[in-house]
């Protein structure tokens, strides 16, 4: 079962073998033996890829639950929570994952050297059950807030979304004094953060929606940061994504008095086999790391 889960998550026999510290031939024999015992095909193999059959997908969900319970039972019986062993799948938005979650992963591995971790830092919503994720960090409303009923969500802070531009751009085009003034500016949008052409703001008169027509649209947040730093226009991103550029003077924050309400940050877990000791230990570490500063 461990071999099957490793193959399903890595989508490659050699990668699964490295993860489990064995050979691809051993993994292949284990999967073949499992399929023979069950009398069904679980994995479809080609020279380039590995994918699960429909039966394999259903079996994967059940196996994850079984293995999580077995691991939890071992941990409970041993009475040694510091001896955690196994594998943890963690996901977070790309730049946030590198800057805020990676330090926690490093600390976790130092504390529990028998554990292994896969970090999936992606600017999309990852389904905990379908993709076998143990812990997810999600920021904000919209799709990032979608949480299945069977998982737990822990609020740990909030995140500002800010407008910014380079000093050179502002010197050439002027600084907007009100959100309505954005219509005369070059706009850079990152599809993962600001896909909606209607940008929302707060004003003294109440909420305001401004429709923007992007001059430049990019598919990654770091590309939007780079473009804004080069003077290509005004962009809107989460504060942590531009914090270093703002600190060194390469970008300036605009219309801070009109920012929309901060977006909540949540830790989501429990969808891929319940809350085992290994998951709880990592969640506790993340809560301690993220909550004091709010990660804003």
Per residue in 158-176, pLDDT tens?
889 999 999 999 999 999 9
265: helix, coil or strand?
strand
Model confidence over 201-217: pLDDT tens digits? 998 888 999 999 999 99
Residue 220: pLDDT band (50, 70, 90) is confident
- Is the per-residue pLDDT at 149 higher than 60? no
8 Å CB contact between 238 and 160? yes
Helix ranges (H only) for the chain are: 2-10, 13-20, 24-38, 54-78, 94-96, 102-111, 167-173, 221-229, 239-247, 277-290
The Cα–Cα gap between 126 and 282 comes to 18
Q: What is the mean pLDDT of residues 129-144?
A: 74
Query: For position 192, what pLDDT does the model report?
Result: 65
Alpha-helix runs per DSSP H in 79-140: 94-96, 102-111
Domains of the chain: 1-82 (1.10.10.10), 84-157+263-296 (3.40.190.10), 161-258 (3.40.190.10)
Q: Express as a percent the part of the chain with pLDDT over 90.
A: 51
Is residue 235 within a helix (H) or strand (E), and if so which, with residue range?
A: strand 234-238
Instruction: Outline where DSSP puts E strands in 111-213.
Output: 115-121, 135-139, 152-159, 161-165, 187-190, 198-203, 206-211
The model carries a pTM of 0.64
Residue 247 backbone phi and psi in degrees, to 5: -65, -35
| 142 has pLDDT over 50 | no
pLDDT tens-digit readout, 77-135: 665 555 678 889 999 998 899 989 999 999 999 999 989 999 999 888 777 777 778 89
Percent of the chain with pLDDT over 70: 88
Distance CA 251, CA 118 (A): 33
């Amino acid at each position: 079962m461990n071999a099957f889960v490793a193959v399903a998550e890595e989508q490659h026999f050699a990668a699964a073998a490295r993860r489990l510290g064995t050979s691809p031939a051993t993994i292949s024999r284990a999967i073949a033996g499992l399929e023979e015992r069950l009398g069904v095909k679980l994995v479809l193999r080609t020279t380039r890829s590995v994918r699960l059959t429909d039966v394999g997908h259903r079996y994967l969900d059940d196996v994850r639950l079984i293995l999580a319970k077995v691991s939890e039972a071992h941990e409970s019986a041993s009475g040694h929570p510091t001896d955690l062993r196994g594998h943890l799948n963690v996901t977070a938005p790309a730049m946030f994952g590198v800057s805020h979650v990676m330090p926690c992963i490093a600390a976790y591995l130092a504390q529990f050297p028998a554990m292994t971790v896969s970090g999936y830092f992606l600017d999309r919503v990852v389904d905990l059950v379908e993709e076998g994720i143990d812990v997810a960090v999600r920021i904000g409303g919209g799709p990032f807030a979608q949480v299945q009923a069977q998982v737990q969500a822990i609020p740990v802070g909030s995140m500002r979304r800010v407008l910014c531009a380079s000093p050179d751009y502002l010197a050439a085009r002027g600084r907007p004094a009100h959100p309505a003034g954005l219509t005369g500016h070059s706009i850079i949008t990152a599809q993962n953060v600001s896909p909606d052409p209607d940008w929302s703001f707060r004003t003294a008169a109440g909420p305001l929606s401004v429709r923007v027509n992007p001059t430049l649209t990019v598919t990654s947040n770091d590309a939007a940061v780079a473009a804004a730093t080069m003077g290509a226009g005004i962009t809107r991103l989460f504060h942590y994504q531009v914090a270093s550029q703002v600190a060194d003077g390469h970008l300036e924050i605009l219309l801070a008095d009109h920012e929309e309400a901060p977006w909540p940050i949540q830790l989501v877990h429990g969808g891929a086999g319940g809350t085992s000791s290994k998951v709880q230990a990592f969640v506790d570490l993340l809560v301690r790391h993220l909550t004091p500063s709010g990660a804003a």
